[in-house]
A and B are shown apart, each in its own frame.
Chain A
Amino acid sequence: MIATDENITASVNGQGGRPPAIRVDGLEKRYGDLEAVKGVHFEVQAGETFGFLGPNGAGKSTTINMLCTLARPTAGSATVAGYDIVSERDDVRREIGLVFQDPTLDTYLSAAQNLRFHGQLYGVPSAELNARMRQVLELVGLWDRRDKDVMTFSGGMKRRLEIARGLLHSPRVLFLDEPTVGLDPQTRASIWEYLDQLRRQEDLTIFLTTHYMDEAEHCDRIAIMDAGQIVALDTPQNLKAAIGTDRVRIDTDAAAAAVEAIRREFGIEARPTATGLELNVKDGERFVPRLLAGVGVGVSSVSVTRPTLDDVFMAYTGRTIRDAEVSTPEVPPIFRGHR
């Protein structure tokens, strides 16, 4: 209804004819000589949960900051909820909710005072504010603690409160920048329970970034980002299917000889591991008998695993996400403050 661009019609598919929640066209961000984001294109449909996956420094947070109007793109354009992120900045801001990596709560105030401040700042009429505060606090299980100072909250509770606050003014798009970073695994799981519930229950577009592979599984679609570019974009299922290979691991004392034998016999490049080697192959379970016959060294154990998003990342970038974090200082520390 708001977006008027000519190719909108072409891009809308199966979402009840609604314009996309986010449209990104050649978005680019430079810091001096450093290209943090190198011209990305994508669309996020209304109601979709869309994940940006990639190592630290891949440009995820820079992209999210541009979409949230916190950083100006160097080139390209984007709309969020139908508004241009540069020329209609305040309209974009009214339609989005934000949860940052670092907390942005006033810890000396109570949970309710933090929410009230936010609601008033976003112009929620006071007649509706109390009911809405109750709804969002119940959604994240913090209604009973509304009058406690945020200072007394655990990390997970603070994050839940920020999610509640991000929803308070009924945004159309909720941005979550690394919503579970720095939380322990159990708390991470509980944050995802709340987010999954939110997805089922609300007509809300969720855009999130993560560098945890397992979290990407919660998304409808995923864009894999590496060194400022989107290297793959699809559903988690399709991405994994596109890899098509299983991972076979064998434990052996003679890894070097085995790698050599596998290269000769099967033409497959195996990678040494701490206890032996691993390789990627189609239909791994059927390959194992042939492998054991051809490897020519003693093998103490074998395992076959279906592809994970880790493998997907590996397949598209040639690196594991962990390696990528160590080896690409994509954004120098001085810019980290802006992310």
Chain B
Amino acid sequence: MSETSTVEVAPPPMPLAPVRRAPAGLRSDLRAALIVCHRELLRWAKDRRRLAAGLMQPLLWLFVLGTGLSRVASGDASGIDFRTFLFPGVLATTVMFTAVFSGISVVWDREFGFLREMLVAPIRRASILAGKCLGGAIASTVQASIILVLAGLAGVPYSPVLFLQLIAMLLLASMVLTAFGLLLGARVANIQSVMPLMQAVITPLMFLSGALYPISGLPTWLAVATKLNPVAYAVQPMRQVVFSHVDLSAEAAAVVNQPLTWNGWPVPIGLQLVVLAAIGLVVFAVAVRRFSRTD
């Protein structure tokens, strides 16, 4: 009854004036991507618990596992703090969980209907997904940057050049991983069924990336699995730039700072990152195709 009476009291005096609308085109696709990205960030900033939970795990890796294992590992790595070794791996793990989760949140959007609001808009699917990737990448990188601030505690020097390099690599890696999360979530109907899937995929990717152990001198099967793992192409470049800023004895470097090799050829950092980006583009393209199907 009260609702009925409000209708009577407050009718707008005039018909609504139609608004102008910007024309379609590349600019509108770009704009749409930025809007989707903005919404991702709004959602992420609102969800403080996710932020806190996302930091808990890397801190445990770095300071509990890192400290605990350093007693076993120190003899071998000749004076290198195991936490220094672990630091880039932990950064990669942080963006990995946050980014894949950002991508997978598309399942939540689908389950609660909001995906439809995006999919019926007069914009390309690619710009929606690009916006999601960008949003996931920024959120993950900000999250990892909190770990980055603690670099000193892991024996990593506060060098501006190193930090810029790491942030750039984190952005690239998290963009690729968000795309991967989107692909995982592309055809899944509800969030409960995607969680086990996510665990089943992320855990092996993390373990086989070399985030937790040096990739030199591994048995062949493990070495091959690592080289096939896209995440390794994010972890190894970060480790190499970290160690380029740490004083390392030759013996230590031989163990902990071996570059990734293809058939014995050490792959340059730039090429590793190109491989990572290329994998990301392929994953992104497949995800766009999956989302573009109409019945």
Contacts and interface: CB of A to CB of B under 8 A. Distances in A.
Interface of A: 31, 68-72, 90-91, 93-94, 98, 100, 102-109, 113, 117-118, 120-125, 128-129, 132, 135-136, 138-139, 141, 156, 167-170, 186-187, 189-190, 193-194, 197, 201-203, 337-338
Contacts of B24: 90, 94, 123
Given A72-B294, A169-B21, A202-B16, A106 B39 contact: yes
B3 A186 contact: yes
A129 B19 CA distance: 8
B220 interface: no
Contacts of B35: 117, 120-121
B16 A132 contact: yes
Given A106-B114, A190-B7, A202 B120 contact: no
B10 interface: yes
Contacts of A102: 113
B46 interface: yes
Contact of A121 (B6, B18, B121): B121
A104 B114 contact: yes
A169 B3 contact: no
A338 B43 CA distance: 26
Contacts of A186: 1, 3
B42 interface: yes
B42 A109 contact: yes
A109 B39 contact: yes
Residue from the set A31, A68, A72, A103 with the largest chain B CB neighbour count within 10 Å: A103
Residue from the set B22, B42, B114, B118 with the largest chain A CB neighbour count within 10 Å: B114
Given A94-B21, A106-B39, A121-B32, A190 B295 contact: no
B4 interface: yes
Contact of A72 (B42, B122, B295): B295
Given A201-B11, A338-B295, A125 B22 contact: yes
A175 to B, nearest CB: 10
Contacts of B294: 69-72
Q: Give 8 closest A-B pairs by Cβ, nearest first.
A: A123-B22, A170-B18, A93-B122, A104-B113, A190-B3, A104-B117, A90-B122, A120-B35
Given A118-B121, A125-B21, A201-B15, 19 more contacts: A72-B294, A72-B295, A90-B24, A90-B123, A93-B120, A104-B114, A104-B116, A106-B39, A106-B112, A109-B42, A113-B39, A121-B121, A124-B22, A132-B19, A136-B16, A186-B3, A197-B7, A201-B12, A202-B16
B182 to A, nearest CB: 17
B10 A107 contact: no
Nearest to A167: B16
B105 to A, nearest CB: 11
A72 B293 CA distance: 10
Residue from the set A123, A141, A170 with the largest chain B CB neighbour count within 10 Å: A123
A135 B7 contact: no
Contact of A100 (B15, B36, B116): B116
B113 A100 contact: yes
B291 to A, nearest CB: 13
A144 to B, nearest CB: 10
A170 B72 CA distance: 68
A202 B21 CA distance: 18
A47 to B, nearest CB: 12
B245 interface: no
A194 B4 CA distance: 9
Contact of A202 (B15, B39, B117): B15
A205 to B, nearest CB: 14
Nearest to A170: B18
A68 B43 contact: no
Given A141-B7, A201-B11, A170 B19 contact: yes
A68 B109 CA distance: 20
A120 B31 contact: yes
B118 A121 contact: yes
11 contacts: A69-B120, A105-B117, A113-B42, A118-B117, A118-B121, A135-B16, A141-B3, A170-B19, A190-B3, A190-B4, A337-B189
B71 interface: no
A113 B21 CA distance: 19
Contacts of A189: 4
